[in-house]
Structure 1
């Protein structure tokens, strides 16, 4: 872990194309998450291009509203090797505001039926005013590996 990002790596016995397909499906993200914060996809279309927006229904007991919605913007899409998105909010007037953190998955094929998955959470672009009210990272050190284990289970059961 550095001061600005954290990552975890896990190897699964699933083809890289299957892992990528699961990650590109927003309806799987609640099952992958593992914190209970991600509730369900508000936008259910597969992720197919950079710049694409997708919204997720969320819950956090320390959020002022409990239930809330985030908007994500696909920043990295290199099928089947990498996918990543920025997370932000949509204001009442429709403006989008991204906080500066990105979730990124890098997938390395290990032959025809294995994949090494590296999940990186990077908050290096978070501006100072956001850091005044949000602590980074907002989860414990085991979160990323737990999330990868959930992804592994999901890809293995649907392979």
Structure 2
């Protein structure tokens, strides 16, 4: 991977309509079902995402983050049945962050007929500018294989409903 690259994108087609995929993606209580990294435990906020500018909180676990932690997710993109995205920011010493730290998760949905959807997941770190954070975190912190597994798990989650 080029050192200039600032994002990873993976794509998969699932055999359900975009509205069904969007329904799962916009419900934080279901995010643990399609997390290919294994870091998402559960959501503190269980209300459906309905607009850009909202925030939801997730309980997470990763050894490289020191074990259990909470992250605040700032919704950056929302276009019903087409796109949803957020930028996370972990809590520091139990305090809510002022804003996101620069990496983003973006799901884009493209209809493929009436009962199939192409789902693209982009993990971008292009807005990470803090030199200290760039020293601490080797981007991409989540490998492409985990993103691909996220789409596999999402496909399973949306087809079981």
TM-score (norm 2): 0.92
The residue number in structure 1 matching 2:150 is 147
Counterpart mapping for 1:16-35 below 5 A: 16-35=18-37
Counterpart mapping for 1:4-19 below 5 A: 4-19=6-21
The residue number in structure 2 matching 1:131 is 134
Q: 1:66-107: per-residue Cα shift (whole Å, max 9, x none)?
A: 100000010000001000001113455544231100000000
**How far apart, CA to CA, are the structure 2 residues paired with 1:87 and 1:32?**
17
Question: In the TM superposition, what is the alpha-carbon distance from 1:124 to its structure 2 partner?
Answer: 0.4
CA contact (8 A) 2:15 2:115 kept: yes
The residue number in structure 1 matching 2:69 is 68
**How far apart, CA to CA, are the structure 1 residues paired with 2:144 and 2:110?**
23
**How far apart, CA to CA, are the structure 1 residues paired with 2:28 and 2:95?**
25
**How far apart, CA to CA, are the structure 2 residues paired with 1:139 and 1:123?**
11
Secondary structure of the structure 2 residue equivalent to 1:39: strand
Unmatched 5+ stretches in structure 1: none
CA contact (8 A) 1:75 1:85 kept: yes
Counterpart mapping for 1:86-125 below 5 A: 86-91=87-92, 92=94, 94-125=96-127
**How far apart, CA to CA, are the structure 2 residues paired with 1:121 and 1:94?**
23
CA contact (8 A) 2:27 2:48 kept: yes
The residue number in structure 1 matching 2:42 is 40
Question: In the TM superposition, what is the alpha-carbon distance from 1:138 to its structure 2 partner?
Answer: 0.8
CA contact (8 A) 1:89 1:97 kept: no
Unmatched 5+ stretches in structure 2: none
State the aligned residue count. 157
Q: 1:90-137: per-residue Cα shift (whole Å, max 9, x none)?
A: 455544231100000000011111100000000001012211101111
